[in-house]
């Protein structure tokens, strides 16, 4: 069987299916990855999260994470990963106004229930009218959501409340 080549676009689910032994390496690379041990999150979030997004969530350099994983399975190092590093907005933007928040979605409960929040959140984002704001509460940086919203030209503000709580505000 052809073994998976590890790249920034590799989904965590596929990585762990092909190389289950890499779970401990991933978890030791960054504390937020401990959530991979949660079977519910393992079945949901890992199917849409790429290693590039995981590096962002874990506060790691993409190349370092990729090379560490590749080294473990005998693949050669990559020198650089194309600079597809997305810059998430973490400074409070001028468009932000608390009174413009029209809906709040706490995806922590959905994730714990094994549900995939992307569709519900994207649906809510698409309903936003000019200057209306959607607030999303997440247990980690929701990189797949942020990437999807950016690809649709929505603006966001990522506000880290604690290691376990991030607030993301989206506006049209």
Angle at the Cα of 103 from the Cα atoms of 90 and 36, rounded to 5 degrees: 60
> Which helix H or strand E contains 102, and what residues bound it?
strand 101-106
What was the pLDDT predicted at 82? 52
Residues 68 and 102 in one domain: no
Q: Per residue of the chain (172 residues), what is the pLDDT tens digit? A: 458 899 999 999 999 999 999 999 999 988 888 888 888 888 888 888 999 999 988 888 889 999 999 999 999 887 765 544 457 888 999 999 999 999 999 999 888 887 888 889 999 999 999 999 999 999 888 888 888 888 898 999 999 998 889 999 999 9
What was the pLDDT predicted at 163? 80
- Over residues 5-36, the pLDDT tens digits come to 999 999 999 999 999 999 999 999 888 888 88
Q: For residue 122, give its domain range.
A: 98-171
Q: Under a CB-based contact definition with an 8 Å cutoff, are residues 92 and 157 in contact?
A: yes
Is 92 within the bounds of a domain? no
- DSSP annotation of 38 reads S
Angstrom CA distances, 29 to 8, 86, 130, 161, stand at 15, 20, 41, 22
What was the pLDDT predicted at 2? 59
Number of continuous H segments (helices) and E segments (strands) in the chain:
8, 4
Is 104 within the bounds of a domain? yes
Is 2 within the bounds of a domain? no
Distance between CA atoms of 37 and 131, rounded to whole angstroms? 39
Is 19 within the bounds of a domain? yes
Which residues lie below 8 Å from residue 12, measured CB to CB, with a gap of 6+? 26, 36, 45, 46, 49, 50, 51, 54
Residues 56 and 115 in one domain: no
Average pLDDT, the chain: 88
Is 131 within the bounds of a domain? yes
Is 16 within the bounds of a domain? yes
* Number of structural domains the chain divides into: 2
Residues 57 and 113 in one domain: no
Is 21 within the bounds of a domain? yes
What was the pLDDT predicted at 143? 85
Is 6 within the bounds of a domain? no
Residues 66 and 30 in one domain: yes
């Amino acid at each position: 069987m052809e073994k998976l080549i590890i790249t920034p676009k590799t989904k965590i689910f596929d990585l762990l299916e092909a190389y289950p032994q890499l779970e401990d390496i991933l978890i030791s690379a960054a504390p937020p990855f401990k959530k991979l041990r949660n079977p519910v999150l393992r079945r949901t979030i890992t199917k849409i999260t790429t290693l590039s997004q995981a590096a962002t969530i874990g506060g790691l350099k993409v190349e370092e994470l990729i090379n560490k994983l590749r080294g473990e399975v005998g693949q050669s190092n990559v020198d650089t990963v194309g600079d597809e590093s997305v810059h998430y907005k973490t400074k409070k933007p001028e468009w932000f106004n608390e009174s413009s928040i029209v809906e709040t979605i706490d995806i922590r409960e959905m994730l714990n229930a094994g549900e995939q929040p992307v569709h519900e959140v994207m649906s809510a984002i698409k309903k936003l009218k000019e200057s209306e704001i959607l607030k999303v509460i997440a247990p980690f940086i929701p990189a797949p959501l942020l990437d999807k919203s950016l690809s649709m030209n929505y603006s966001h503000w990522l506000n880290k409340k604690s290691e376990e709580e991030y607030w993301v505000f989206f506006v049209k």
